[in-house]
Each structure stands twice: as C-alpha cells, then as structure tokens.
Amino acid sequence: MTTENVKTRFAPSPTGYLHLGNVRTALFNALLARRWGGRFLLRIEDTDRERGRPEYVAALLEDLRWLGLDWREGPEVGGAHGPYAQSERGAIYADYYWRLEAMDHAYPCFCTPAELALSRKAQRATGRPPRYAGTCARLSVAERQARLERGLQPTLRFRVPAGRTVEFIDRVRGPQRFASDDIGDFVIRRADGSPQFFFANAVDDALMGVTHVLRGEDHLANTPRQLLLLEALELPAPEYGHLALIVGTDGGPLSKREGDLSLRELRAAGYLPEALLNYLARLGHAYDRDEWLEPAELAAGFALERLGRAPARYDPAQLVYWQSEAVRRADPERLWGWMGARVHNQVSPEVRDKFIATVRPNLRFPADAAFWAERLFGPESALSADGQTAIAAVGPEFFIHALAAHAEHGAAYRPLVEDLKRRTGLKGKNLFMPLRVALTGETHGPELARVIELMAPERIRQCLRQAGARVG
Ligand code: GLU
C-alpha cells in the first residue's frame, strides 16, 4: 500500500458535544492522513436512537470545521462511499446480515434482557466472566419459527468461532492476542432492527476503504470481535491503533473542572483553534520541537511511533500557554472580532490597531481585552491598595511635573520620561510606577510607551490631574 491510499477517519456518535478527548482522536486521524498525503473521512455513527440527536450532528460538523479539521469525504462534502451517516445505511447492512446468516456466522437470538441479566448473574456467582451462554445458538429451524410466530423480536448474534487466537499488531500498543473462547457470541443487530456498534463500525470501515483507525483505548477489547466479523464477511480490516486515555492532573478521569470541557465551551471562553491544535497534538504525542507549530507543521511532524502508551495527563496551564502563543500570532483583524462587543463599545475603530498592539502581550482571553479597554478608555475606577501606595509615595508634585513634561513632549516617550526624571529626581520603578498607576489604574500592564501613545492627550492630562488630586 502506498501512503497516498491511506484513509483515516473520525466516527463520532452524536450523543453529545465534542470534548477534548474525542477531538484529540479526530485530530490524530486528520494529522495522520495529512502526514501521509492520504484522506481523512468523517462518518456519523448515529445508530443509538435514544441518545443520538440531530442537533449534535450539526454541532460536531461546525466544531470540526472551526478547528480546521476538514474532512475530504463525509457529510456535506460527499464521496464515493456514502451515505456517511449510519442511520441511512440500513439497506447496506441488511445485505451483510443476510450473508452472515446464510453462512451460519450469525443466528437470531430470542433471549430477553431479563433472561440475559439472570444468566450473567449466575455466571458471576460461580466466578466466571459473564458472556452469552449460547441459549439460541443451536435452535432448529422449527424452534426459530415457533418463536417468531409467538411474535418475539430477535436480535441477531454473531457466532464467534471456538478455539481461535485473534492476533493483530496495534499501531500504538504493539502485538495483541485474544482468545476467541473469551468472547461470547455478540449482538450485531438489535431487536428493533438497528445495527450494533461492532458491526456497523467494522463494516463501514471496510466498505469506505478506511486503512487506519486511531481510536480510544476503551475500544481495544472490541477489536478482536471486529476482526472476526470482517474475516467472516471476507472484508479487509483496517490497521488499528488504540490511543491512551486522557487523565486529569491527579491521574484520575477528567472532571468537568479539569479538561472534560466541550469544544463549544472552550470556544465560548475565547480559546483560539490553533491553541487547541498545538495543545492537543502534544497530548499523548511527542514532537521534536516544543515551540509553536503551524497546522502543516503539526502534520509534517506527526508519527505513529511518537504516540505514547501511558495515559496522557491533561494540563490546563499548558493549554493556557498555547493560547497566549496563539493570541500573540493572530492577525489584528481577527483579534478585533474575537475581542467582542465589550471592547468595540470602548475603543474607537481609529485606534483599533494601536490598541491591539499595546495590549496584545497582556491578553489571553477576550475578557482581558475588555479589562484593558476599560482601563484605558472607560470611566475611572477605584485604585487597588498597591496603586494607591505607589502614587502616595510620590505626592501631588510628581503629577504637576508630569503634566508639565507632557505639555512639553506630548506622546514622545523618551523625552517625556527624561524630562520627568530631571524634574523629580526619580528614576526606575519609583518613576514609572506612579505614572503607570495614574494612567491605567494598575501596577502591571502593557508597555508604558505604547499606553501613552495610545491614550488621547486630554485623557492623559485628566488622569494625571486626578492622580494628583487623589494624593493631594
Ligand atoms: N462511534 C464510536 C465512538 O464514538 C467510534 C469508535 C471508533 O472510532 O471506532 O466511540
């Protein structure tokens, strides 16, 4: 197989919004396809009629696009192997159920959920792992017929061959072996006629020409079942790689507070897609370089050998770090839109670019931009204790000198500061801090030279007078 034939896929079930965990799975598959010049496919696994919802489908398409994970084949873009939603593939599945039944690889099962639960309980009580006891595996044609006539709705079960060892090389975890005798016959079609995950997922991968599947480690135990199914159907199996799970900082499962966040929530909080890409691509995958990578570079450096087997630890500080990096790089037009109405209402469009250049190093989220817009253009606010101390230390004369220096030099920062130094005899922090507090109300913040250049001269004068009055 040449690498151009590589096809990877993301196959979400629309039972909720995309979260960091499944987004990372999507990203790894997209990066792998891109790295090898192959295709990335999207398939919607909407067979769960109770939990699946159409609005989640719309949301996940939008979220993936927002992140830049465009699929070359799938919903909305089409392709040669559609339809790409499993709910529309019933006729295709019917054909494969028929084949399995015809070859006696599958049989109808009339056991009720209550009977199955009872059987599992009995097995557990005798210390055996619960698996299907085979009650319906050898029903005669007449017995089946009688049950059907009683109006029972059977499921369809796959007959797992006895005494086999299923072996495969997991592209992340290495060689794997499973004994088929540990796997009970499993349901491939529910009593309501809908396909079970094992079946639809494996059949679709084969029919859609998927060559590589990266998915969560929680699916590892499903793989031998799927390989047996594909073998029975004489369909090609993809190569599987099972990704280590993401855990919280304490090593436990991700919590809502830590990482178990939907992409929507992260987007609403102001995260930029490139920040998430840079973060997620390193969550369980190692790059040579720790610095910022553009999407094409993320793909170029992606390799299966670099995927870790140990659980990947979610680190919120790292995510925020990549967010600052993304903000540092975003172009002004985009940042302006990202900042939102709270900034647009305070900052006039003429000073837009100057404002962005001034506050950018201090920004991580739109709320930070709103904070600085308020400080530099909004109504005056009360000073913090530190701020008050800083201006009290220099007294009202300092601000009279500052007004004079400003009258003389305007926004020309160097001359203004030199002049103020001469007039007050102060330097360093003793000089800059009271000036900063007077102009911004804060003891930390954007570069002072830029602040002075950005603020209207009238506002600067007013701030200096006000600071003088506060300590007068
Ligand atoms: N629909 C399955 C899930 O969301 C897909 C598993 C797989 O990638 O094979 O877990």
pLDDT digits (tens, 9 = 90+) for 308-325: 999 999 999 999 999 999
- Find, among 390, 391, 422, 428, the residue nearest to 405 by Cα: 422
In a domain, 163, yes or no: yes
CA–CA gap between residue 154 and residue 189 (Å, rounded): 9
pLDDT in the model for residue 255: 72
pLDDT in the model for residue 259: 66
In a domain, 159, yes or no: yes
pLDDT in the model for residue 3: 72
The pairing of beta strand 212-216 with beta strand 239-243: parallel
In a shared domain, residues 95 and 239: yes
Mean pLDDT of 225-251: 96
Pocket test for ligand 1, best of 64, 219, 240 (most atoms within 8 A of CB): 219
Q: Among 2-16, 74-88, 433-447, whose mean pLDDT is lowest?
A: 2-16
Q: How many residues does the chain have?
A: 472
CA–CA gap between residue 74 and residue 82 (Å, rounded): 7
* CA 49 / ligand 1 centre spacing (Å): 16
Quote the percentage of the chain above a pLDDT of 70. 99
In a shared domain, residues 110 and 158: yes
In a domain, 53, yes or no: yes
Quote the percentage of the chain above a pLDDT of 90. 93
Q: With bands split at pLDDT 50, 70 and 90, how would you rate the model's confidence at 4? A: low
Is the pLDDT assigned to residue 237 strictly greater than 80?
yes
Q: With bands split at pLDDT 50, 70 and 90, how would you rate the model's confidence at 148? A: very high
**Phi and psi, residue 163, nearest 5°:** 70, 25
What region does 410 belong to: left with phi over 0, alpha with psi -120 to 50, or beta?
A: left
Assigned token pair, 360 = 């950018």
Of 377, 399, 433, the one marking the end of a domain is: 377
User: Is the CB of residue 225 less than 8 Å from the CB of residue 203?
Assistant: no
Which residues in 13-120 belong to E strands, given as ranges?
39-42, 106-109
Integer-rounded Cα radius of gyration of the chain: 32
Mean pLDDT of 272-300: 97
Mean pLDDT of 434-455: 97
Calculate ∠ Cα 17-170-251, nearest 5°: 55
pLDDT in the model for residue 150: 95
Mean pLDDT of 185-199: 97
In a domain, 320, yes or no: no
Which SS3 state, helix, strand or coil, does residue 190 take? coil
In a domain, 72, yes or no: yes
For the stretch 138-171, what's the b/e string if a residue is b when 16 or more beta carbons lie within 10 angstroms of its beta carbon?
ebeeeebeebeeeeeebbbbbbbeeeeebeeebb
In a shared domain, residues 238 and 144: yes
Calculate ∠ Cα 426-427-429, nearest 5°: 115
In a domain, 272, yes or no: yes
Pocket test for ligand 1, best of 215, 220, 225, 243 (most atoms within 8 A of CB): 215
In a shared domain, residues 219 and 128: yes
> Prior bond to 434 cis, omega within 30?
no
**CB of residue 11 inside a 6 A radius of ligand 1:** yes
Which CATH number belongs to the domain containing residue 412 in this structure? 1.10.10.350
Residue 346: give the domain boundaries.
330-377
Instruction: Note the pLDDT tens digit of each residue in 391-404.
Output: 999 999 999 999 99
Domain count for the chain, please give it: 4
In a shared domain, residues 298 and 181: no
* CA 459 / ligand 1 centre spacing (Å): 58
> Which amino acid is present at 9?
R
CA distances from 258 to 175, 284, 319 (A): 33, 17, 11
* CA 206 / ligand 1 centre spacing (Å): 15
Of 269, 287, 313, the one marking the end of a domain is: 313
Is the pLDDT assigned to residue 1 strictly greater than 60?
no
In a domain, 368, yes or no: yes
Q: pTM of the prediction? A: 0.93
Mean pLDDT of 376-402: 94
In a shared domain, residues 93 and 180: yes
Is the pLDDT assigned to residue 260 strictly greater than 80?
no
Calculate ∠ Cα 93-96-101, nearest 5°: 125
pLDDT in the model for residue 363: 97
Pocket test for ligand 1, best of 7, 9, 13 (most atoms within 8 A of CB): 13
In a shared domain, residues 370 and 390: no
Which SS3 state, helix, strand or coil, does residue 257 take? coil
Q: With bands split at pLDDT 50, 70 and 90, how would you rate the model's confidence at 49? A: confident
**CB of residue 225 inside a 6 A radius of ligand 1:** no
Check residue 110 and report its DSSP letter: -
CA–CA gap between residue 216 and residue 399 (Å, rounded): 63
In a shared domain, residues 237 and 106: yes
**CB of residue 215 inside a 6 A radius of ligand 1:** yes
Which CATH number belongs to the domain containing residue 176 in this structure? 3.40.50.620
In a shared domain, residues 189 and 265: no
Is the pLDDT assigned to residue 88 strictly greater than 80?
yes
CA 423 from chain center: how many Å? 56
In a domain, 26, yes or no: yes
In a shared domain, residues 50 and 169: no
pLDDT in the model for residue 2: 66
Give the chain's mean pLDDT.
95
Is the pLDDT assigned to residue 129 strictly greater than 90?
no
Which SS3 state, helix, strand or coil, does residue 458 take? helix
**CB of residue 13 inside a 6 A radius of ligand 1:** yes
What region does 38 belong to: left with phi over 0, alpha with psi -120 to 50, or beta?
A: beta
pLDDT in the model for residue 256: 67
In a shared domain, residues 365 and 431: no
Mean pLDDT of 27-51: 95
In a shared domain, residues 21 and 152: no
Instruction: Note the pLDDT tens digit of each residue in 324-354.
Output: 999 999 999 999 999 999 999 999 999 999 9
